[in-house]
């Protein structure tokens, strides 16, 4: 199991159809401080492992990364919900005004996933 992603998600997805959570955090680190912290904790964890740290320090740094990763995922999800809610309000206004077509909401998480998928496919 890859330590960069939670169980059954990202790299550890049973169908391997989800992007790596660490890569999503790297994409969003400019806009989301929680994502930047998760990337920083991952770098600290990897540096400690490469430096030959003991089991206790490795566990400490891995758990610090896992907590930061969870916070980053929550922040990205909340941002996506907020954007979707604002789009729903705009969509309802468009429908009331007679605009006949509905557009698919482009949340930050959707954009990150599309960019990641495009990069992986190229």
Q: Assess if residue 40 is contained within a domain.
A: yes
Q: What gap in Å lies between CA 19 and CA 14, rounded to an integer?
A: 12
* Res 110 pLDDT > 90: no
Q: Is residue 5 included in any domain, yes or no?
A: no
Task: Judge contact between 80 and 108, C-beta under 8 A.
Answer: yes
Task: Let me know if residue 99 belongs to a domain.
Answer: yes
Q: Which domain holds residue 74?
A: 10-121
CA 1 to chain centre: 18
N- to C-terminal Cα distance for the chain? 26
In a domain, 3, yes or no: no
Number of structural domains in the chain: 1
pLDDT tens-digit readout, 83-101:
877 777 666 555 555 555 5
Question: Is the residue at 21 inside a domain?
Answer: yes
Query: How far does CA 45 lie from the centroid of its chain?
Result: 18
Nearest CA among 89, 91, 82, 88 for reference residue 109 = 82
pTM across the whole model:
0.68
Reported as a pLDDT band with limits 50, 70 and 90, residue 116 is confident
Assess whether pLDDT exceeds 80 at residue 105.
no
Q: Please classify residue 110 by burial: count the beta carbons closer than 10 Å to its beta carbon, then call 0-12 exposed, 13-18 middle and 19+ buried.
A: middle
Residue 72 inside a domain? The answer is yes
Say if 83 falls within a structural domain: yes
């Amino acid at each position: 199991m890859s330590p960069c992603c939670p169980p059954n998600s990202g790299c550890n997805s049973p169908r391997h159809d989800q992007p790596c959570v660490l890569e999503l955090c790297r994409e969003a680190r400019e806009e989301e401080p929680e994502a930047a912290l998760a990337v920083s904790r991952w770098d600290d964890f990897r540096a400690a492992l490469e430096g030959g740290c003991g089991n206790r320090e490795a566990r400490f740094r891995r758990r610090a990364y896992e907590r930061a990763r969870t916070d980053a995922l929550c922040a990205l999800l909340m941002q996506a919900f907020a954007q979707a809610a604002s789009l729903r309000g705009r969509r309802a206004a468009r429908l009331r005004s007679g605009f006949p077509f509905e557009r698919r909401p482009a949340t930050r998480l959707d954009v990150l996933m599309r960019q990641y998928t495009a990069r992986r496919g190229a």
